[in-house]
Amino acid sequence: MNIRLPAEWENQDGILLAWPHAASDWHDALETVEPVFVAIAREISRFEQVIIVAPEVELIRARLIEDGVNLQRVRLFPIPTNDTWARDFGPITVFAEDVPVVLNFGFNAWGLQFAAHLDNQITATLAQSGVFGRCEVRTPGLILEGGSIESNGAGTILTTSQCLLQPNRNPHLSRAGIEKALADLLGASRILWLEAGYLVGDDTDAHIDTLARFCPNDTIVYVQCDDPADEHYPALKTMESELRAFRTPTGRPYRLVPLPWPRPCYDADGQRLPATYANFLIINGAVLVPVYQNDQDIKALEILAQVFPNRTVIGINCLPLIHQHGSLHCVTMQIPKGVLQ
């Protein structure tokens, strides 16, 4: 069977969000983080649907109305959640013989680091609610987070060995076993493994969507550290060399576009936070880019506007998000065209 994992820049039906609430890790920061989610929902709803899950949704509905969000493109589902990282527990959609199939991979909170018993059930609960229409929903016996893989839409997957080979995810599988699973389930004909690269403060074991991203026309954008005194410099220089060595299926080098290195961000305890401009979200007609009230924000927006010349590039202040060690892409999951009821 011909199976294909679409690229993020392909047409979408909508974006999944899981709203922060008082029983999540955001309980002490709701006043600062909820406006970020409102901004994300507002911008997405300009272009496509927003699917929002949360234990209680009526207060969210009222907040969105108050902030002028177009509710005609918002659907709210009262579903219990642990947290907000929809990228990693949300559905991953493939096309099997050009028919969309929703894959409900297991989610164990990045190798058993946190509670995930509610988040692990969200895709199945949405399926039971009928949100995926008549699409087939499959549940593979594999732990896999959406933030750990990048697809070019044509059979190539970009990932990191630090994440996919972490022993608390799929300890029964070797690298070859993971590759076979990705081939069988996602249609991966090529897997590009990055061995180096990380961000301090990242809980995901180096998710690829914090480091390097596929973009159209054989382009990879990636984080580049230009400060030799920074602790990230050696690993990200090595990662850059790895990216330069990668080849397209036709044997050509990828077009590599470096993203600026943001000035370091810290929490109240002086711990460094994982700020990255690579954690952008591609939607129909636009690219939402995390910014951090940082002197590199404008440069990042300008670079991504060049990479996506036919889309509106929109910055969203995600400084509150990185206080829980993720950013914009991490809290969203795209649902390709043809899936939503």
Between CA 202 and CA 199 the distance in angstroms is 6
Asked whether the beta carbons of 167 and 199 are under 8 A apart, the reply is: no
Tokens of 179: 């590759």
What spatial distance separates the first Cα and last Cα of the chain, rounded to whole Å? 25
Burial class (CB in 10 A: 0-12, 13-18, 19+), 246: middle
How confident is the model at residue 337, as a pLDDT? 98
Mean pLDDT of 158-177: 97
pTM over the 0.95 mark: yes
Q: Residue written as tokens 């301090």?
A: 200
What domains does the chain contain, in order, with CATH numbers? 3-336 (3.75.10.10)
Q: Please choose, from the candidates 190, 224, 194, 199, the residue with its C-alpha nearest in 3D space to the C-alpha of residue 296.
A: 224
Average pLDDT, the chain: 97
pLDDT tens, 258-287? 999 999 999 999 999 999 999 999 999 999
Q: Round the CA-based radius of gyration of the chain to a whole number and report it.
A: 19
| Residue 338 confidence (pLDDT) above 90 | yes
Q: How far is residue 276 CA from its own chain's centroid? A: 12
| Residue 1 confidence (pLDDT) above 90 | no
Tokens of 248: 């397209």
How confident is the model at residue 84, as a pLDDT? 97
**341 — pLDDT class (breaks 50, 70, 90):** confident
How confident is the model at residue 252, as a pLDDT? 98
DSSP helix/strand/coil, 236: helix
How confident is the model at residue 305, as a pLDDT? 98
Percentage, residues of the chain above pLDDT 70: 100
Q: How many CB atoms lie within 10 A of CB 92?
A: 25
How confident is the model at residue 121, as a pLDDT? 98
